[in-house]
Structure 1
Amino acid sequence: MNQPKVCVMLSTYNGVKYIDEQIESLLAQSEVELHIHIRDDGSSDGTVQKIREYTKSYPDQIHVTEGENVGVIGSFFDLMRQTQPVYDFYAFCDQDDVWKPHKLSRAVGKLQSRPSDILLLYCSSTQMVDQDLNHLNIWPNMPPKPLSMYNAVVENCCVGCTMVLNLVTFEQIRGNIPSDLTQVIMHDWWIYLVVSSLGEVIFDEEPMILYRQHQDNVLGGSDEGWIMKWKNRWERFVNGNNHFILSKQAELFFRLYKKQLSSEQQRDLQHFFIQLGRNGMGRMGYASKMPFYRHDSLDNVVLKLIYVLKKV
């Protein structure tokens, strides 16, 4: 029996310190026919030299493109453009983690348990570790509410480096990459939004990667008390860099995918945009009962507040 062909798309940038561990863990994946497509995003350290050594050792498995620096979002979408739809499944990969040997085979098994003609996205919890791979906490936990468009418009529950797509999803995303990426918050959030709206998201609560946290990579999985948690979330939502990012991404998504959405989805998204233009009392009334939600109750309160303040 032929093993499923899986393409891992890895974007690198000045990652020489950990890239060996990451690639070795990819090459150790079991029960799949592995192919690795790497795009270097203009590294200035020894990352490219390291990668070139791997291509010499694994010329049939590893393909490398050396590009100009366009940032993480542009780099991953460029990887999708360059990757042909000739594989069974497609995974995203960071440059500084370590994957468990059955990460891909487990994801493939769960994806194969669902119909192959619908949009499918697999993602999982991660075992967070420090720079030396000592275990920290597990993040994110299993979401308590449905992974639907009504969550994805205002929150991303899928960690990009855990994502695996089926062919239908890959072709859908690849064929509709936005021309203006400045309205996309993150590539993984965009994919979660598309699939949760049009297909099905499979969340695996078993951590399948060691997700390294270090000085250059500190995300929302960090362990923080509720006071700091509130302060960090509030500042993240209301600072100038984050004004309107949720609504701008949602509007871009609506323009590209309106015809594929159900009439109910179209109506609820349009209400989300229209009510945002009302006065404060109108926004408050809508926010109190809007169908869009974040999973954490504290995050949900912050969401309603920033909607009322017209900063969503």
Structure 2
Amino acid sequence: MSYITTISVAICTYNGEKYLTEQLESILAQETPVDEIIICDDGSTDGTPLLLKEYQAQFPKLFRLFFNDENLGYVRNFEKAISLCAKDLIFLCDQDDIWHKNKVARVKQVFSDNIKTKVLCHNFSLLLDMESEKNYWKQHSFEPKQSNEQILKIVLFKGNIFPGMAMVLSKKAKMDYLPLKKLNNLLIHDFELVIKSLKENTLFILDEKLGLYRIHDDQNIGFKLKKEKERISAEDLYAKIKSIDYIKIIVSNFDLKKGLIDEYKIIVTKYYNDYLDQFTVWKRLYIKLKLNYYYKLTNFK
């Protein structure tokens, strides 16, 4: 018999009135119903609070609303919402996306079949407008059939590719991974949960598109579409090198293998050489001197 029986949804809202109804309706339309919807509003000044109260009045046993007395910010608000969830699985949910009808059913089945899984991340489509969609993982050239160890290097060296709206936690993950460390503004809740799960080899990658991620100007946290490869700038190179310190912080605080730092330095060295290769030979010496003077870029190896 499956040990997964109950479903929580953790939603954080902030001035999300425009798309919130469509998000909530997609949850209510699930083939497998959810058991509780926890919503933490972070001080909305639009019609979001009224809309939420209307849903709660219609579904009083399903919706639990929490209105923050002060603005907690995106990460702390999600930490609060997750902590308030009481069911076997916790679906993280933004205020402006759309779930496919089979999302809960598929995820529930995967957790039941893979009892060691603590965090699941699924693929989704990018909703650019009402007629245009893109495959998120293809957009980021992500190959899902990789080990947790390989994926850890990807998210550390290239950035997190698993947004919270496509993430589901087990109750065990909630117990083990909260409270969040909140080390800096770059390491938000979904990234931290992914790192912790990858370290333990408890992350499951579900290569199915189970929702639509809406890209619009009003979203609180989002990402840019991948662009065609451009020339490497000195600023790009500087950012890569500065990230070495960022990698060191993560490795230290999450007790990861120290060899990851050396691997990243090798990547940065190649990036540095690729940058220089953009110029003619006679210019490279001058550019090296200039980079060292302005950015201190030769001291990272």
The alignment's TM-score, normalised by the length of structure 2, stands at 0.76
What is the match of residue 78 of structure 2? 76
- CA deviation vs aligned residue, 1:17-42 (integer Å, no higher than 9, x gap): 00000011111112244311000111
| Number of the residue aligned with 2:288 | none
Structure 1 residue 163: Cα displacement: 0.5
> 1:193-232 residue pairs with structure 2 within 5 A?
193-217=195-219, 219-220=222-223, 222-227=225-230
- The CA distance in 1 between the partners of 2:174 and 2:39, in whole Å, is 17
- What is the one-letter code of the residue matched to 2:180? I
Determine the structure 2 residue equivalent to 1:138: 135
Q: Which has the larger radius of gyration?
A: 2
Q: 1:172 is matched with which residue?
A: 176
Residues 309 and 40 of structure 1, relative CA distance in 2, 3 Å threshold: farther
SS at match of 1:18: helix
Quick check: 2:180–2:189 contact (8 Å CA) kept in 1? no
Counterpart residue identity of residue 50, structure 1: L
Relative to structure 1, the CA distance from residue 114 to residue 79 in structure 2 (aligned partners, 3 Å threshold; closer, same or farther) is same
RMSD (CA atoms) = 3.6
Bigger Cα displacement from structure 2, 6-15 vs 194-203? 194-203
Percent identity among equivalent residues? 22
Aligned residues: 270
Which residue matches 2:163?
159
CA distance in 2, matches of 1:224, 1:166: 35
Q: What residue is the counterpart of 2:265 in the other structure?
A: 287
Q: Matched residue of 1:49: which SS?
A: helix
Q: How far apart in 1 are the matches of 2:118 and 2:177?
A: 11
**2:283 alignment counterpart:** none
Q: Which residue of 2 aligns with 1:188?
A: 190
Structure 1: any 5+ residue segments left out of the alignment?
255-265, 276-284, 291-298
Distance 1:227 1:62, change over 3 A: same
Question: Are 2:18 and 1:20 equivalent residues in the alignment?
Answer: no
Give the C-alpha shift of residue 252 in structure 1. 2.6
- Structure 2, unaligned stretches of length 5 or more? 275-296
Aligned position for 1:120: 118
Alignment CA distance shift 1:32-1:246 (3 Å): farther
**Which letter maps to 1:251?**
S
CA contact (8 A) 1:9 1:90 kept: yes
Change (3 A) 1:37 1:237: farther
Query: Offset at 1:235?
Result: 7.9
**Aligned AA (2:211):** I
Correspondences of 1:293-304 after superposition (within 5 Å): none
Change over 3 Å in CA distance of 1:300–1:209 after alignment to 2:
farther
Contact 2:180 2:192 in 1 (8 A): no
The 3-state SS of whatever aligns with 1:205 is: strand
Task: Give the match for residue 48 of structure 1.
Answer: 49
Letter in 2 for 1:39: C
Deviation, 1:105, is 1.1
Q: Secondary structure at the match of 2:251?
A: helix
Measured after TM superposition, the shift of residue 210 of structure 1 is 0.9
Show the counterpart of 1:95. 95
Give SS of 1:207's match. strand
Deviation of the 1:151 alpha carbon: 3.7
Q: TM-score, normalised on structure 1?
A: 0.74
Amino acid at match of 1:182: N
Moved more, 88-97 or 201-210: 201-210
Q: Secondary structure at the match of 1:125?
A: strand
Distance across 1 between alignment mates of 2:49 and 2:202? 37
**How far off is 1:238 after superposition?**
5.4
Distance in 2, matches of 1:272 and 1:146, equals 16
TM-superposed deviation, 1:272:
4.9
> For residues 108 and 273 of structure 2, what CA distance do their matches in structure 1 show?
37
Q: Distance in 2 between matches of 1:165 and 1:304?
A: 41
The CA distance in 2 between the partners of 1:163 and 1:31, in whole Å, is: 17
